[in-house]
Amino acid sequence: MKELSKRLIFGALFVIILVVSAQHQYALTALFFVFGMICLKEFNLLIEQRNTLSYAMFSILYSVFAFWNFLTENNNSLDEATQILHVVSIFVLLFLIRDLFSKKSLPKLLTNRYINTTFYISTGILFLLLIAINFGQYSPENIIGIFVLIWINDSFAYLIGKNFGRQKLFESVSPKKTVEGFLAGVFFSAIGSYIIFKLTDNLLFSKWLILSVIVSVFGTIGDLIESKYKRQAEVKDSGTLIPGHGGLLDRLDSAIFVAPFIYLLLRILNYVS
């Protein structure tokens, strides 16, 4: 009961910090920068990388692609650079999905470490911010809605999987995840998308519904990928920052992985409209 209380208290605190920060673009930008630095530190520990280059690369990327939005009204060149970064990021994530289904350990070569810290962790954090910036029109409802969908998916996948799960989803990486839990996450996320639609007016229900499926599928994959990294590092959590939850990366692994795919959908919708 004590452990559950800690999870609820610090989970609620995390939600409050995110929601309050999302009310202003500058505050959210600063918050995600801090999140990125902490997640990088935890990820570097998992992959046994001890130099500071990854932090410098994240700082440069974040400065160029996030703060540039504040400094100029003509973002054509920035948008072209973002598209290139977006393509590379998704390409790297697809390779991570491939490695997840491989029985071999995730590669720890120096080049792989820099590629993954840059185009997995760093750009994942960056695209979370760009989802809120929403192509020049700041929309905090977008990022809050995405996190709500992630929390709904994770919560019901855990509850249903723990109590009714029978068939393992990916036993070699995460023995506690079940097919029943995964399907419950998809189902309740879809219901959550309708509630979000009724409370906001920025996207149609059909678009929130598609987002809920993307969150459930790719968010679960992101959680599994981090679980494989933790299993290889022989640790239970990525860190101890959040009592009852583990590290910050443990809380953001789904969001970081799913962010480029959500941004891709938003880009398509923006182009069509």
Is it the case that residue 4 has pLDDT exceeding 60? no
Task: Please give the pLDDT value at position 74.
Answer: 54
Mean pLDDT of all residues belonging to the chain: 88
% of the chain with per-residue pLDDT over 70: 90
Poorest-confidence range of 47-56, 124-133, 185-194, 202-211?
A: 47-56
Which of 47, 14, 173 minimizes the C-alpha distance to 118? Answer: 47
Residue with tokens 């559950």: 4
Domain total of the chain: 1
Global pTM reads: 0.93
pLDDT tens-digit profile of 17-71? 999 999 999 999 999 999 999 999 999 999 888 888 999 999 999 998 887 766 5
Summarize the confidence of residues 172-179 as an average pLDDT. Answer: 89
Q: Which domain holds residue 85?
A: 2-67+74-272
Are 246 and 238 spatial neighbours (Cβ–Cβ below 8 Å)? yes
Can you read off the two tokens belonging to residue 212?
A: 């809920």
Query: Letter for the amino acid at 121?
Result: I
pLDDT tens-digit profile of 133-170? 888 788 899 999 999 999 999 999 989 998 998 899 98
CB atoms within 10 A of CB 129: 22
Task: Please give the pLDDT value at position 195.
Answer: 95
**CA angle (229, 235, 164) in 5-degree steps:** 80
> Which letter does DSSP use for residue 64 in this model?
I
Query: What sign does the CA torsion over 211, 115, 271, 33 have?
Result: positive
